[in-house]
Structure 1
Amino acid sequence: MGYDRKYGNIVSEFGDIPPDEPVIVFRGRDRHIVTLMNAYYNMCRSGGDPLSASPEHHLEIIKETIADFQQWQMENRDKVITPRSDRYIQRMRGVNEAEDGNNG
């Protein structure tokens, strides 16, 4: 289980994420995800040099994931947003207010 600052604990179906490893979750509704994933694909493909490029099977997974995001966004245009992390900010304010109340 990893930890994402916005979504909290992230559980992997295969249980291969150590509890102390940071994780980030990008969702289909994120307006920037396709651009981000294309940049990631290009970085993995080139790796900075031929010896550090990702294997072809990893690149295929990325391409398939990009296609999944594109398809979802085309079918759900009304749900695609520019992320704001409002719930995270509200949650953090609540934590900070609770901590302030405990210190008084």
Structure 2
Amino acid sequence: MNTEELTQIASAHQSAIARHDQEMAEIRAILREGQARSERALAEHERALAQHDQAIAQHDQEMAAIRSQQALIAQNFTNFTAGLEELRILVANYLRGRENL
């Protein structure tokens, strides 16, 4: 090989190295962009998950309040029913007493 051929081979080699470096730079840029998108998507997912957890906690609180109200209503209904029964007995006793007069 003569000097000119060696120069051509070295030049082609340098050109291939430059193309390789350019392609690697493009690949790294694509990877950085993909990583940034993934990180943004993950942050959005975590934010949505936190909102979901907050909504569940609020729902649980609301359900606890409803259960408490239902228990109070049931107790009031029981008291009302017992009061009606007492009133029924009082009225029956009153009517029996009037009949005996």
Instruction: Tell me which interval the TM-score lies in, with the shorter structure as reference length.
Output: under 0.3
Report which of the two has the higher share of helix: 2
Q: Which structure has the larger Rg?
A: 2
TM-score, normalised by the number of residues in structure 1? 0.25
Report which of the two has the higher share of strand: 1
